[in-house]
Structure 1
Amino acid sequence: MNPSTEPVLADKGEDGVLVVTLNRPEARNAVNDALAAAAAAIMRDFDADPRLRVCVLTGAGGGFSAGLDLKAFLRGEVGEDPERGFAGITRVPPRKPVVAAVEGFALAGGFEIVLACDLVVASRDARMGLPEVRRGLVADGGGLLQMPRRLPANVAMEIALTGAEVLPGRLHELGLVNVVAEPGQALDQALILARAIARNAPLGVLASKDVLTASPSWDPDQAWERQHGLVSPVWKSDDAEEGARAFAEKRAPRFSGR
């Protein structure tokens, strides 16, 4: 198959960063079953490949994603992977960090994909939101579950119930968007962020994400114990020894992920 016709593209960089591109620009990168299956397979491989440390997720053709392909929906497609959910990511995201690079638009399910990512870089003129209620639908691809965790409750309610678009500048002020980039620069800025993460110790990065993701649901009386269970292997790792040795020798560490 010609790579340009594949619904999702994956570019494995030598710097440990995987760039994943939703590749249906003729359909505004809308999600059909083929795209969801391809994205899910790529995300599984990403988590399994020790050479890859961070994923940057973007869209082809100047836009991120318009969400579910409604033409495919009328044919009975739902754009979901049975295990990983909508677009192969919203129900079960990768354990490793994912950075969204948003140009143009991330609407409906496209915004739900963004909410499934750990960090967000968006061009200042990008349009984002959940317009499902305007189409007789409900944003059940993870957006209604993620927004209250990522945004103030009243703002999440506003976005969900009005279906109005929200600019990245406002989402940056509210803490969802990490970096507001100039138009056309979202991918470059996301790569800067991803490479800064990829330079760090893989085990430490994974454990940090695990704690940050899981701890909001922990019983406060058990939080320290549960954190210890996740992070104690890192302190005993080869990378912990290498980090200390590199600091003492005043050189850059060479982390192995062990």
Structure 2
Amino acid sequence: MTQEVLTQEEGGILIITINRPEAKNAMTKAASEAIAAALDRLDAEDHLRVGILTGAGGTFCSGMDLKGFLKGERPSVEGRGFGGLTEQKPAKPLIAAVEGYALAGGLELMIACDLVVANSKAKFGIPEAKRGLAAAAGGLMVLPDLIPHKVAMELALTGDFITAQRAYELGMINRITEGDALSAAKELAASITANGPTAVRVSKQIMEESRGWALEERYAKQAELLPQVFMSADAREGSLAFAEKRTPNWTGK
């Protein structure tokens, strides 16, 4: 039986590939569990610094496998959400590399990632309403936090698609490439792995968690997390490397 999710390491990057090209990478329960396991590995192994989530065969993910849905299957992991990701993100950065379509649950997987690189011909949408369904894995709640509310409302109520250029203009994606999205995502990942791992992890944590902090508590809550950065060996190494005009030797400590 073909593996529904493949993983590959490359220079501190863990590439996670949804491998159901014959079904436009529609998400199944097995694939969700495999993605969750890969993300656990990303966080657990110190030499892995950044993850990339992509799809095989020229499509990112077309959403939930409707054949499985009709049989009563739900492509989620308890406590982790759709695709093993939408309700619990990894502590380390995760980049979506999008080719073809990121639709329905596929778009929800994409917006659960921290950064997005897409091919210029990619298409995006939450067309669940066209099937009598709703974008319940973040499309209705997370998307309005990322793009203008009325635009998110239009996407949800019409189910229409938008282009990569429009998604870029809205701030839904970070970079557009004329080449393959995975190569461009690797370049973006390399610019992250060049930095201090603790600084990257804690910066992501603060940016994610501070969205829910009360304004008057923000600096106090940030101050609770920052000592692990500023008192680390890497903070000293980074300063020394700058003074000595050399590349830092990060240890993650």
Considering the TM-score relative to the shorter chain, is it more than 0.5? yes
Which TM class, normalised by the smaller chain length? over 0.9
Structure-2 residue corresponding to 1:100: 96
**Equivalent in 5, 8, 11 of residue 8 of structure 1:** 5
Structure 2 Cα separation of the partners of residues 84 and 219 of structure 1: 26
Offset of 1:120 from its aligned partner? 0.5
Q: Does residue 51 of the first structure (1) align with residue 47 of the second (2)? A: yes
Structure-1 residue corresponding to 2:236: 241
Q: Does residue 130 of the first structure (1) align with residue 126 of the second (2)? A: yes
Structure 1 Cα separation of the partners of residues 200 and 140 of structure 2: 27
Offset of 1:83 from its aligned partner? 2.2
Structure-1 residue corresponding to 2:18: 22
Structure 1 Cα separation of the partners of residues 139 and 36 of structure 2: 18
Give the gaps of 5 or more residues in structure 2: none
Contact 2:59 2:98 in 1 (8 A): yes
Offset of 1:127 from its aligned partner? 1.1
Structure 2 Cα separation of the partners of residues 159 and 122 of structure 1: 19
Structure 2 Cα separation of the partners of residues 187 and 213 of structure 1: 25
Q: Partner letter of residue 30 of structure 2?
A: A
What secondary structure, in the 3-state scheme, does the structure 1 residue paired with 2:243 have? helix
**Equivalent in 67, 83, 88 of residue 87 of structure 1:** 83
Give the TM-score of the pair, scaled to structure 1: 0.96
Q: Does residue 181 of the first structure (1) align with residue 177 of the second (2)? A: yes
Q: Partner letter of residue 180 of structure 2?
A: Q
CA deviation profile, 1:57-101 (whole Å, cap 9, x unmatched):
100001001000000111111100112110111110111111100
Structure 1 Cα separation of the partners of residues 190 and 116 of structure 2: 14
Structure-1 residue corresponding to 2:150: 154
What secondary structure, in the 3-state scheme, does the structure 2 residue paired with 1:120 have? strand
Structure 1 Cα separation of the partners of residues 181 and 247 of structure 2: 28
Structure-2 residue corresponding to 1:205: 200
Give the gaps of 5 or more residues in structure 1: none
% identity of equivalent residues: 48
Q: Partner letter of residue 122 of structure 1?
A: A
**Equivalent in 27, 30, 36 of residue 31 of structure 1:** 27
**Equivalent in 208, 217, 221 of residue 212 of structure 2:** 217
Contact 2:124 2:167 in 1 (8 A): no
Matched positions, count: 253
Structure 2 Cα separation of the partners of residues 176 and 33 of structure 1: 27
What secondary structure, in the 3-state scheme, does the structure 1 residue paired with 2:134 have? coil
Name segments (4+ residues, structure 1) moved above 2 Å.
Answer: none
Structure 1 Cα separation of the partners of residues 138 and 170 of structure 2: 19
